[in-house]
Structure 1
Amino acid sequence: MAENKIGKYFLYALGEIILVVLGILIALQVNNRNEAKKARAQEIILLENIKKDLNLDTLDIGFNLQYHKAFITEEKKFLNFLNSDLIQPSDPIDYNGALSAPLVIVLHESTFTNLQNNDIGLLSNNELRKEISRFYDFFNKAIQKVENDKEVYEAYTLKLPYFLKYFKLDPDAPPMVLSNPNSDDYYNPDFQKQSIIIEDIPGAKQDEAFKIVMNESIFFRQIKIDFYIDMVNRINELSQKIDQELEILVN
């Protein structure tokens, strides 16, 4: 009789233990699911914000690319005229464009910086995480170095003495304008400067140093243009991969 009671108590206690263990396991499973949902929600927000930053970067890059292309067109026309036998240019030349203006690039890195400072492991796709890190750690920094920090890529200061020597202000011509009124989403300058006109054509055409400086300016500007075009392509590719990952995470 006593043995039966002990056996019943043992089974009852064992059942209680099993129920407690099951309860703990279920609670852990629910907690893990909740944590996984929270992590996925955070990952979705991060990827969406990175994509927004990339979209804004394409606007900044597009602004600079637009003006670099305009500047190099006028630089080439002017250099061709200097190397020709013509007394006057056969086609109109925007001399302000040939002199150009230094540009800066300001890219959006806040989301990636926050991700680095917290936990980049929140991005579950290892390949995508590597590509995002590679983009920001190398390509993003490189284009800012080329545009903002490396004076060798900007020939404006080298050209200016020659333009001061051979040109004068042209009060009758419309001013040069640096502006993009169609966008409020990024740095939007609205600068103007008075136009210039060449005053000493024979002197400029005989100045071989001037021609070399113009040639170097064209060469380095083309490097910037190519770099910007490559950046746009990389941003588009990365944005597509982020879209694909978001589709997986949301569904």
Structure 2
Amino acid sequence: MRGTRKIDWLNHFLEFIVVIAGILIAFQLNTCSEQKKEQKLVDRHVENIIEETEFNKNNFEFASEKVRQSLNTLDTLLSFIEDKRDLDSINALSIEMLNLPITYIKRNSYNSFIESGDIRLVSNFELKEDIIRLYEYYTWAEGLDKITAESYNDHFLQYLMDHLDLVSTKTQDRSVYESKKFKNTLAVYNYQLRSRLMKYEELRGMIDEFLTTYN
């Protein structure tokens, strides 16, 4: 009877350990590679959002200046009406107010970040929250702009279309400019423009803080 072959369990065990270690190392390398790819993807999104934020900051600065100009014209118009100044100047200022300041907010980079689902890859929770909060403030500003535009179109613009001659710009009777309805319309528009300006200043502060932190 032949002798039973002795199994080298130690050698088998070592081979098994080497195989397992190789699998684990390969898995870890693959994981690290995927994490690096994901981080690069997130970094590109963040870079695009920073560029978009700088673009929006410039737009808000431009819009703020336009709102200030409209407020200056509006304040002058209100004072001219109260002081019963010459009607030609009042008429000219009223027509000058036809220029409604608007703001364009760019969202392409943010929408891409959200719609692609890549925002879930952001490991920095504060960064994610700051990005979302910034664009929520944009939505708030857009809502205020929309309310102002609707009020402007429904009341101020409609009053001018009903009572002024916007073709020849001919000056009208004093009663047109001194009516309670017109003065109330101007007062409401004044309040709304000041609210917009305050919101823009608040947003610019948030934008500056965001760029300082992540740029």
TM-score by shorter chain over 0.5: yes
Residues 186-220 of structure 1: CA deviation (Å, up to 9, x unaligned):
xxxxxxxxxx46x1363245322211111111011
Percent identity reads 19
Residue identity in the other structure for 1:78: L
The corresponding residue for 1:213 is 185
Q: State whether structure 2 residue 52 is matched by structure 1 residue 53.
A: yes
Aligned-residue offset at 1:90:
9.0
- What is the CA–CA distance in structure 2 between the aligned matches of 1:125 and 1:119, rounded to whole Å? 13
Q: State whether structure 2 residue 119 is matched by structure 1 residue 120.
A: yes
Unaligned runs of 5+ in 2: none
Q: State whether structure 2 residue 194 is matched by structure 1 residue 222.
A: yes
Residue identity in the other structure for 2:71: I
Question: Is this contact kept in 2: 1:166–1:201, CA < 8 A?
Answer: no
CA change 1:33–1:98 in 2 (3 A) is same
**Which SS does the other structure have where 1:155 is aligned?**
helix
Residues 27-86 of structure 1: CA deviation (Å, up to 9, x unaligned):
122112212211221121111011111122123323322222211110110001101143
The corresponding residue for 1:160 is 157
The corresponding residue for 2:143 is 145
The alignment's TM-score, normalised by the length of structure 1, stands at: 0.72
CA change 1:156–1:66 in 2 (3 A) is farther
Question: Is this contact kept in 2: 1:78–1:98, CA < 8 A?
Answer: no
Unaligned runs of 5+ in 1: 171-195, 244-251
Correspondences of 1:63-142 after superposition (within 5 Å) = 63-87=62-86, 94-101=93-100, 103=102, 105-117=103-115, 118-136=117-135, 138-142=136-140
Structure having the larger proportion of residues in helix = 2
Structure having the larger proportion of residues in strand = 1
The alignment's TM-score, normalised by the length of structure 2, stands at: 0.83
CA RMSD, 1 decimal = 2.9
Higher relative contact order (CA 8 A, sep 6+): 2
- What is the CA–CA distance in structure 2 between the aligned matches of 1:85 and 1:133, rounded to whole Å? 50
The corresponding residue for 1:34 is 33
- Between the two proteins, the alignment pairs up a number of residues equal to 211
Residue identity in the other structure for 2:178: Q
CA change 1:201–1:67 in 2 (3 A) is farther
